[in-house]
């Protein structure tokens, strides 16, 4: 029997993969790409999914589909200046990215608290959102999230060396392939489709500018700056929002030791380790991840009912 060749991915005319529920909205006059699916009328909080630095909402495709199929109303989006969202009016700092998320929720009419899940930079944005707009956040799922330690991959630290940055950020398929392989514990997840997507992202206008703005706002040659981390974690801890922190033990971007640091910084949070997974366990352990967060959100709901 002849094997069937997978159909090539379909790209939207305005950019990004043509995923069900994907569209663009105007946020403070700037185009923002969003994906919204799942039943419109649900009893529990909706779900908001935030990607990492230099990435796009495609990093959450599997979870978006799984969680919507399980009855959740699910929103994923391209952060300001990332993916196919236009740059914001302010430089891409952590507070600016969180405000962009909040403004997007306003445009979409999301006025209920949401379960917010963030990967890498998206985890830090989720925490920032919970501090700046606590009424919008029912719980946090922090997936290999930035903010729990100084250590970070050298590929981001060297962006602080200004003469090197333009050379390192020059788009190429080989560079995209290296980046994709680096974020997975199992390199087979760095598929041709994902490598093509990474190259598309790297060639977007302002992609390099936003990557530099964000990485330099959060860290430098010595790693992630302690000032913003210390203040943000103190505020998140004081707020006590229900939190689940997950990590892959083969993460080469933010080391797995940060999971223990997260447990110490957020004593009220649950933690979970995905053996063999890298920086994006929501991709490598898709079904297991969906089961985990579903169970966590059910616990959050039970606690809310119990008062």
Q: What is the pLDDT of residues 195-225, one digit of tens each?
A: 999 999 999 988 888 988 898 888 888 888 8
CATH of 22-153+223-306, one of 3.40.50.1820, 2.70.98.50, 3.20.19.10, 3.40.50.300: 3.40.50.1820
Q: How far apart are CA 76 and CA 34, in angstroms?
A: 6
Percent of the chain with pLDDT over 70: 94
- Is residue 95 within 8 Å of 128, Cβ to Cβ? yes
Residue for token digits 């909205």? 25
Percent of the chain with pLDDT over 90: 74
Reduced 3-state DSSP string for 247-290: EECCCCCCCCHHHHHHHHHCCCCEEEEECCCCCCHHHHCHHHHH
- For residue 288, what are the contacts with CB-CB under 8 A and spacing of at least 6? 274
Residue 267 CB-density burial (10 A; 0-12 exposed, 13-18 middle, 19+ buried): exposed
Buried b (16+ CB within 10 A) or exposed e, 238-259: eeebbbbbbbbebbbbbbbebb
Q: What is the pLDDT of residues 164-173, one digit of tens each?
A: 667 667 889 9
Which range in 106-115, 149-158, 204-213 is most confidently predicted, on average pLDDT?
106-115
pLDDT at 7 over 80: no
Q: How far apart are CA 137 and CA 133, in angstroms?
A: 7
Q: How far apart are CA 60 and CA 117, in angstroms?
A: 10
Q: How far apart are CA 228 and CA 102, in angstroms?
A: 20
Which candidate, 169, 152, 148, places its Cα nearest to that of 54?
Answer: 169
* Domain limits, the chain: 22-153+223-306
CA 229 to chain centre: 17
Q: How far apart are CA 46 and CA 75, in angstroms?
A: 8
Please compute the mean of the pLDDT values over residues 34-58 and round it to a whole number. 94
The residues facing 137 across adjacent strands are 114
């Amino acid at each position: 029997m002849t094997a069937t060749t997978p159909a090539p991915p379909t790209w939207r005319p305005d950019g990004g993969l043509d995923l069900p529920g994907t569209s663009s909205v105007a946020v403070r006059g700037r185009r923002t790409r969003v994906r919204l699916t799942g039943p419109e009328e649900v009893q529990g909080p909706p779900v908001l999914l935030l990607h990492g630095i230099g990435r796009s909402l495609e990093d959450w495709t599997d979870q978006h589909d799984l969680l919507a199929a399980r009855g959740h109303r699910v929103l994923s989006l391209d952060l300001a200046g990332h993916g196919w969202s236009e740059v914001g009016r302010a430089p891409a700092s952590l507070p600016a990215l969180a405000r962009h998320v909040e403004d997007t929720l306003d445009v979409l009419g999301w006025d209920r608290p949401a379960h917010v899940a963030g990967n890498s930079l998206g985890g830090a944005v989720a925490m920032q959102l919970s501090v700046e707009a606590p009424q919008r956040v029912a719980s946090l799922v922090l997936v290999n999230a930035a903010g729990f330690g100084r250590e970070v991959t050298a590929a981001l630290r060297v962006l602080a060396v200004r003469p090197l940055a333009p050379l390192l950020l020059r788009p190429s398929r080989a560079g995209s392939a290296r980046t994709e392989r680096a974020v997975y514990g199992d390199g087979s997840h760095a598929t041709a489709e994902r490598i093509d997507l990474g190259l598309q992202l790297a060639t977007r206008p302002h992609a390099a500018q936003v990557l530099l703005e964000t990485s330099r706002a959060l860290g430098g040659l010595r790693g992630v700056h302690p000032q913003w981390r210390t203040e943000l974690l103190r505020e998140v801890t004081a707020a006590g929002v229900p939190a689940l922190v997950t990590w892959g033990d083969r993460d080469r971007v933010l080391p797995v030791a940060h999971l223990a640091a997260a447990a110490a910084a957020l004593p009220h949070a649950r933690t979970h380790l995905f053996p063999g997974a890298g920086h994006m366990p929501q991709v490598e352990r898709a079904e297991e991840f969906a089961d985990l967060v579903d169970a966590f959100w059910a616990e959050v709901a039970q606690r809310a009912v119990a008062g």
